[in-house]
Structure 1
């Protein structure tokens, strides 16, 4: 977490949490979802405005965390902005050498692989659980063929509970 964020939390410890305004899609893109977008429909059917500003995305990545219930959020100064997830908390990029990197830029290694009923490949890593980016399925297939990853079948609806994350966090 950024030092400026930690300082803001100490200065304003009781700022209310924010729900429904930020989302992460299956390609690792962030979306702002204002009241109008939220009223138009649920994520990901209605995505909102894609965040393209590099410095803002980097700030979100550095302050992207989860709570004890598995709900992911962006700590925006003193305010916790909960994130709606299309598929998983991380989107993995896979290189030709089978190196795995999160959409946040952090490197990690796969511990286990899972295929859902739609043929999507998920990896459990030391960093957390996530979906392999569609553009990297060629490299991922090579990793499977080389015997580095041995995917097991798992229904998508069972993944959040099994791996401890929440797709659409809501206030208690």
Structure 2
């Protein structure tokens, strides 16, 4: 976290948290109410000060105040670039360990022990490379996602099951 955020937290330790204002969509974009945040400096601040509490709720520490985040899909969004996973809002550059697909075809990976939804813009290329020959029926998934030199075990789960498995609170409230 930013040093000025840590200083504000120490100076004002009991500022009430905010719920229902901030959302992270399935492409890693921040939304305040119904307006997409496009200011590069604010996006970078949110990304640097994004965290998780012990209850599985994700938040941005905005000075002394926690602003809890509603998640459209997962706490992280993954993009596959040059054979490596990049995650938003923070870029861990860690090897994925497992892949999951929901009934409606959303692809998720576990990366650095966290759940990440794969950005839908990458799905055609990932499917062409990693699911060659698959007919698209989620009830007949192949056993693995074959990406470059790093095949990932692949299984089918509902989004609710994935949230539970990773302890994600997608709609936090007080």
TM range (shorter): 0.7 to 0.9
Q: Is the 8 A contact 2:48 2:90 kept in 1?
A: no
Bigger drift between 71-80 and 120-129 goes to 120-129
Aligned match for 1:103, one of 76, 80, 88: 88
How far apart in 1 are the matches of 2:8 and 2:126? 41
Q: Is the 8 A contact 2:102 2:157 kept in 1?
A: yes
What's 1:45 paired with?
none
Aligned match for 2:157, one of 146, 154, 163: 154
Aligned match for 1:167, one of 160, 165, 170: 170
What's 2:137 paired with?
none
When normalised by structure 2's length, the TM-score is 0.85
Question: Counterparts of 1:34-113 in structure 2 under 5 Å?
Answer: 48-97=34-83, 99-106=84-91, 107-113=93-99
How far apart in 2 are the matches of 1:113 and 1:16? 37
Unaligned runs of 5+ residues in structure 2 are 131-144
Unaligned runs of 5+ residues in structure 1 are 34-47
How far apart in 1 are the matches of 2:73 and 2:168? 10
How far apart in 2 are the matches of 1:7 and 1:155? 41
Q: Is the 8 A contact 1:89 1:130 kept in 2?
A: yes
Q: What SS is found at the alignment partner of 1:108?
A: coil
Return the offset for 1:159: 1.2
When normalised by structure 1's length, the TM-score is 0.86
What's 1:29 paired with?
29
Q: What SS is found at the alignment partner of 1:151?
A: strand
CA RMSD of aligned residues (A): 1.3
